[in-house]
Structure 1
């Protein structure tokens, strides 16, 4: 997919500028470089070869969608996939598997996920499919439906007809960091592996208290890297590969041969970090599914260490 995107981007660069040119994000640097990112021009050429999942609100989906797209409700991703319990990590993929089956998707199919632009629910959907052991390529439509529509991409309305299929989910915990995995790599002095807190600095310090939790702050040894820094907000797409390497490799000091864990409040914002590091070639990157909504309920007496207080820890603010 990346090579196809590169060829298309190169062709687009040779075209003369006219009033009929597509929007700026119609072809994107990330799509040209990363295997798991496509742009609107690539999708135009390959629409019949992929399955589509739309993670926007249902009203927007019904009003206008890419032909062939099925709705992937965020409630199913967030509420029915997995949870941390007293007995450990438990996954229940049945609801998601049913939704994918109704979309006619099988585990080996190539899938493109899109939202309004490029943001957190899209990457959380991609992470979720990977956590369910999806074997085909799952890609992000960089720029999302907004760019597709602005570029006169074909659209349709209403809900598509449900398919009669079967989706076999095989949970892959290799992309999931459980609370015990994290606790095994953290002690009172710091962390043995890179741990990335994708929330705002105020949440990281414990100043912005969210949720009915017992404590606020960050996992001891974690580095703060607010997820919004990975997104070009003006264009509604991922930052360029060069910018992402500067942010994650140069300034955050990460190396692709390290095991890295991302977390936020509920694992959704953290999925942006998980996705970017995966695209940057990290062999072992995980999303802490419980995130602070889980860690904030635990106790240091049981080995779940945390740090709190303004200006504690390390904040990377390259594009803040």
Structure 2
């Protein structure tokens, strides 16, 4: 996961330029087509009407950021706001609520999330806010801070300030696929709904083994679609809507027929990219498996948690691999 994020950040400098000298990703096709994607041009015109969350590391945030932005750390996102337990799914979004409160964000505020480019932690932040019941819009800044800065837009290193709010979360399980939600839709031979494994193919086949787990491979019936295929690494932005439709709707066969679609990875972070893309493409019931393989890999087929392993197993979509 870290290597994938680093690769995306490293390519964010290859932005290309428009005739006016601004980076090509200053205006993006995804921002024109999708409800929850904005570009630097839009943000430049609407910055005063939204709250900003920056998911970059602390050193990058301290050096320069978009004025008004508050940092949403990856540790805060991952800090036990939900967990699979022997007694089922439990949620405690207190750490996230405290972060949003200190940033002066209320549940009805419209929020824009950005990182260095468009990648996995940005979509995980958007998923996280949806999961804790945020009522305002939560959008991705396509191209991220790299584009904003390269376009000559205003930045600051001054300490952010805000009037603290009393953020009261209310978990929305409509975007979350729990362990049992997945298990109820998976049999020994197949899955009853589309399940997308957003990890690398080596992880999907059980060759790249991560974590101290009992088993490695993929949820039976899941299709492998590595998350990086949805991102234009050279431009540091989402692929065009036409490319995303080809990847997800045509090649992965995910037209919306009213059934849920589930995404997952190792910890839910990479899975959030798929959740976000499906949501933008109009999938009415897209869910991210919060526990992902870090949870499923600890379970047993004897209890109905089926998995498949081995090179060449399953289905791999590699359109933009």
TM-score by length of 1: 0.94
1:80 shift after superposition: 2.7
Q: CA RMSD in A?
A: 1.1
Contact kept, 8 Å, 2:197 with 2:204, in 1: the verdict is yes
**Runs (4+) of structure 1 moved beyond 4 Å?**
none
Higher RCO structure (Cα 8 Å, ≥6 apart): 2
Match of 1:314 in 2: 315
Report if the CA contact (8 A) 1:34-1:279 is conserved.
yes
Local SS of the residue matching 2:41 = helix
What is aligned with 1:33? 33
Q: TM-score, normalised by structure 2?
A: 0.93
Please show how residues 2-13 of structure 1 align to structure 2 within 5 Å: none
**Greater CA drift, 207-216 or 157-166:** 157-166
Counterpart in the other structure of 1:96: 96
Matching of residues 232-251 of structure 1 within 5 Å: 232-251=232-251
Q: 1:9 corresponds to which residue?
A: none
Q: Which residue of 2 aligns with 1:281?
A: 282
Matched, 1:267 2:268: yes
Matched, 1:112 2:112: yes
Write the deviation string for residues 146-175 of structure 1: whole angstroms up to 9, x where unpaired.
000000010000431242211111100010
3-state SS of 1:186 partner: coil
Question: How far does the alpha carbon of each residue in 1:108-132 deviate from its partner, in whole angstroms, 9 at most, with x for none?
Answer: 1100000000000000000000001
2:148 aligned with 1:140, yes or no?
no
Matches within 5 A, 1:132-171: 132-171=132-171
Instruction: Kindly state the Cα deviation for residue 256 of structure 1 after the two structures are TM-superposed.
Output: 1.7
Please show how residues 144-223 of structure 1 align to structure 2 within 5 Å: 144-223=144-223
Q: CA deviation at 1:81?
A: 1.5
Equivalence for 2:305: 304
Q: Report if aligned partners of 2:18, 2:24 keep a CA contact under 8 Å in 1.
A: no
Instruction: Note the alpha carbon deviations across 1:183-228, whole angstroms, 9 max, x for none.
Output: 0000101000000000000000001111100000000000000000
Asked if the contact 1:54/1:61 (under 8 Å) is kept, the reply is yes
Q: 1:66-105 alignment to 2 at 5 Å?
A: 66-105=66-105
Equivalent pair of 1:80/1:96 in contact (CA under 8 Å): no
Change beyond 3 A, Cα 1:245–1:264: same
Question: Matches of 1:65 and 1:229 in 2, distance apart?
Answer: 28
Number of aligned residue pairs: give it: 304
CA distance in 1, matches of 2:163, 2:198: 37
Partner-residue secondary structure (3-state), 2:310: coil
For 2:57 and 2:49, how far apart are their aligned partners in 1?
25
- 1-structure distance, mates of 2:190, 2:68: 48
User: What are the Cα deviations for residues 230-250 of structure 1, in whole angstroms up to 9, with x where unaligned?
Assistant: 000000000000000000000
What SS does structure 2 have at the residue aligned with 1:287?
strand
> Could you say which residue in structure 2 is the equivalent of 1:124?
124
Bigger drift between 258-267 and 161-170 goes to 161-170
